[in-house]
Amino acid sequence: MNNAPSTSIQTQGEVPAAFRPSRFGERFGRLIDPALRPEVSNEQLNMVLGHTRLGTLVATAFAVFLGLQLRGVALPAWLVDAWLVIKLGVAAARIYTSVRYDRLGRPGGTKWSRTTDAWLLADGLVWGAAGFSLMSSPLPLAALVCAVMACVSCVATFGLQFSKRSTAAYVAPILTLTAFGLFPRGDELGTIGGTGLLMLLGLLLAT
């Protein structure tokens, strides 16, 4: 009788479990133990708000710089001033929310999550309104602002990727409104740029 231990030989067609490609459901709808969902959501919120202060300050500084460059040139001064006031107000509310959340010991919960996403949506709408209104500008300016909106969305995704809902709240209005402003142009920038922005939105939310 042969008592030698049997060894399993991996055939060429087999893929080790560690290298198994992820299934669609695992990638886009991860299954989480219901008992752990509140803790996972709270940690996602902690990471999103942890990014808020620095990200908001840099984005707002750039928004002010952009607005001052366009003030009285591409847009009436009063319109740019009104946009900047709204942008600064929303940014201040986001920073205040982040600071207060930390001072309260990061309590987590649905209320804080919804408040955070609501202000992200408001900030995204402010950016998106600028993108929409400037897409009817002459080609060089429209192309520049289109690129700016794409860059703002991509950079924001690095800090918000912990939560798909938070990412969508911010980047969806930016890219969607800018794309909707591009399509009526009827030229190559409108067709290619608008389609490209919507494809970028899908990619940011999928990855």
Which tens digit of pLDDT belongs to each residue from 54-97? 889 999 999 999 999 999 888 899 999 999 999 999 999 999 99
Distance CA 61, CA 95 (A): 14
Dihedral sign of CA atoms 186, 189, 190, 196 in order: positive
Instruction: Determine contact, residues 133/181, Cβ cutoff 8 Å.
Output: yes
Largest CA distance in the chain: 95
What pLDDT, on a 0 to 100 scale, did the predictor assign at position 97? Answer: 94
Q: Give 184-201 pLDDT, tens digit per residue.
A: 999 999 999 999 999 999
How high is the mean pLDDT of the chain? 85
pLDDT(146) > 50: yes
Dihedral sign of CA atoms 95, 99, 100, 104 in order: positive
What pLDDT, on a 0 to 100 scale, did the predictor assign at position 3? Answer: 56
Where does the pLDDT of residue 139 fall: very low under 50, low under 70, confident under 90, or very high at 90 and above?
A: very high
**Gap between the terminal Cα atoms of the chain:** 56
What pLDDT, on a 0 to 100 scale, did the predictor assign at position 27? Answer: 47
Dihedral sign of CA atoms 22, 28, 34, 39 in order: positive
- Coil, helix or strand for 3? coil
Where does the pLDDT of residue 25 fall: very low under 50, low under 70, confident under 90, or very high at 90 and above?
A: very low
Q: Give 149-183 pLDDT, tens digit per residue.
A: 999 999 999 888 888 999 999 999 999 999 999 99
Q: Which residue has the higher pLDDT, 61 or 53?
A: 61
Distance CA 63, CA 57 (A): 10
Q: Taking the CA of residue 31 as centre, how many other CA atoms within 13 Å lie in the half-sphere pointing to its CB?
A: 5
Q: Give 87-138 pLDDT, tens digit per residue.
A: 999 999 999 999 999 999 888 888 999 999 999 999 999 999 999 999 999 9
Tell me the percentage of the chain whose pLDDT exceeds 90.
62
Q: What is the pTM of this model?
A: 0.81
